[in-house]
Amino acid sequence: MSENPTGLIDLSGIARDRARAEACEWRAILDYRDHEIDRINAADTTPMRKIIERSTIAVEIGLHLNLSEGQVLDRIAAADAVRCHTPRVWLMFQRGVLDAARVREISLTVRRLERPESHDRLDTQVVSYAATHTLTELRQWLRRFVTRVEADLAIERANTERENRHVQVVQGDDAMAWLNAYLPAHEAAAIATRLRKAAKAARAAGDDRTQPQLEADLLTEWALHHEQSQTARARGLAIDIAVTLDATVAAGANPGHAEAVDGTWEVPTEWLLDSALEGDAFWHQLLIEPVTGNTLAHHYIGYQPPDILRRAIILRDGVCAARGCVRPAAHCDLDHREPWPDGPTSGENLDPHCRGDHSRKGHGVIDDVLHRLHQIETTPTNRHRLAPYRPDPIATHLAHRLAHVTDDDLLAG
């Protein structure tokens, strides 16, 4: 097990070795598949025999690797898509910069994109982000990427899929059942927000049921009282709507999506505008200082921020400010970057931190970790904006370390 000069175990090196091993397996699967197809095509047998033999290639590979046929086919589809359409991603996979889980997520996006120029743009931008963010963050980034670079096609798919909305009841054991609803994302998010707020209010009033129990009981009550449901529908979405929206999209100049500030959902803009025009939804317009990026950067006397500042910061950041954490900011504490009273209670000095990350920061654990991993940028950033591609120092460093392996060798694999 390798160690770095400070005496700590080199976990990053282990991760790269694992990624290279995964890439080797994927490449071997493709090589085996291609070799078998060539052999079968060259054989002097009947067409039906060839079809049957080709259909058993994945089964045979699975027997060698102790994988199911489905797992083999999934790897083949992902590897073919990435190797064909995003060669830079494939190269960084071979070099250990990206692991199999991230490459698979990228392959799913490759298969959703329909235009060659979209594949090229993805290949240019995604490596830097994927190499330095968690898998959950990458999934959200990829979902937003599709809705931005192929907005017109994404809207077509969304409108088509909206026609498939439905409710399903699945009976379970012990006298219980699942109620599943396939809904437009913004309406599902509004329902979840309303349930959470109503359940918290009930608990504050002394109800001894748990939060999940109250949310389930409230949903049942609302669904079974048809008159209340009709009244709620007539009023529109009675929620706080916190989205980011490009000015050209809002003006109707370009097709596009509205995105939740926490990155969990996006819908065609017209869907959300229709909901807003129906009733009493509360919209937030965030004014961002163009140089510093501060939101409501006013100073307040005292430790606790006023409610309007708290809400603005929640809408600004969307999720916990800790690296890799995607817990919604609405469920987080507001933490002073520079401790109060030396640091002001203001927009530029407050970040949302979930209770666990807040505790780790307060006890200095995060500072110790960041000191050891000094290559990680400690300044909080908004991880939910699709930034233009910039060369990634970690990926560049890894590429230089593996310079003895030529690009042609890896791309040929």
pLDDT tens digit sequence for 241-259: 555 555 555 555 566 777 6
36 and 102 belong to one structural domain: yes
Quote the number of domains for the chain. 3
127 and 37 belong to one structural domain: yes
Counting residues of the chain whose pLDDT is more than 90, the rounded percentage is: 35
Domain assignment of residue 307, yes or no: yes
* pLDDT above 50: residue 142: yes
Boundaries of domain holding 293: 286-391
Structure confidence at residue 182 as a pLDDT band (50, 70, 90): very high
Of 82, 117, 132, the last residue of a domain is: 132
pLDDT for 363-389, tens place per residue?
A: 555 555 555 555 444 444 443 334 333
* pLDDT for res 317: 79
Of 77, 111, 132, the last residue of a domain is: 132
What mean pLDDT value characterizes the chain? 77
pLDDT for 1-40, tens place per residue?
A: 455 555 567 788 899 999 999 999 999 999 999 999 999 9
* pLDDT for res 152: 85
Domain assignment of residue 183, yes or no: no
24 and 120 belong to one structural domain: yes
382 and 269 belong to one structural domain: no
113 and 28 belong to one structural domain: yes
- Mean of pLDDT values over 274-299: 49
* pLDDT for res 387: 39
* pLDDT for res 86: 96
Domain assignment of residue 378, yes or no: yes
Domain assignment of residue 145, yes or no: no
Domain assignment of residue 68, yes or no: yes
Structure confidence at residue 122 as a pLDDT band (50, 70, 90): very high
* pLDDT for res 330: 82
324 and 258 belong to one structural domain: no
266 and 357 belong to one structural domain: no
* pLDDT above 60: residue 153: yes
- Mean of pLDDT values over 70-99: 95
90 and 23 belong to one structural domain: yes
* pLDDT for res 344: 79
Domain assignment of residue 399, yes or no: no
- Mean of pLDDT values over 60-87: 93
* pLDDT for res 359: 73
Lowest average pLDDT, out of 50-54, 153-157, 201-205, 286-290, goes to 286-290
* pLDDT above 50: residue 399: no
126 and 19 belong to one structural domain: yes
* pLDDT above 50: residue 279: no
371 and 291 belong to one structural domain: yes
Q: What is the 3-state secondary structure (H, E, C) of the chain?
A: CCECCCCCECHHHHHHHHHHHHHHHHHHHHHHHHHHHHHHHHCCCCHHHHHHHHHCHHHHHHHHHCCCHHHHHHHHHHHHHHHHHCHHHHHHHHCCCCCHHHHHHHHHHHHHCCCHHHHHHHHHHHHHHHHHCCHHHHHHHHHHHHHHHCHHHHHHHHHHHHCCCEEEEEECCCCCEEEEEECCHHHHHHHHHHHHHHHHHHHHCCCCCCHHHHHHHHHHHHHHCHHHHHHHHHHCCCCEECEECCHHHHCCCCCCEEEECCCCCEEEHHHHHHHHHHCCCEECCCCECCCCCCECCCCECCCCCCHHHHHHHHHHHCECCCCCCCCEHHHCEEEECCCCCCCCECHHHEEEECHHHHHHHHCCHHHHHHHHCCCCCCCCCCCCCCCCCCCCHHHHHHHHHCCCCCHHHHHHC
* pLDDT for res 385: 38
Decide which of 391 and 71 is more confident: 71
334 and 273 belong to one structural domain: no
Domain assignment of residue 254, yes or no: yes
Domain assignment of residue 304, yes or no: yes
pLDDT for 188-236, tens place per residue?
A: 888 888 898 899 999 999 999 999 999 999 999 988 876 544 444 444 4
381 and 273 belong to one structural domain: no
Lowest average pLDDT, out of 77-86, 161-170, 286-295, goes to 286-295
* pLDDT above 50: residue 408: yes
* pLDDT for res 147: 86
Of 98, 132, 166, the last residue of a domain is: 132
* pLDDT for res 261: 61
* pLDDT for res 253: 53
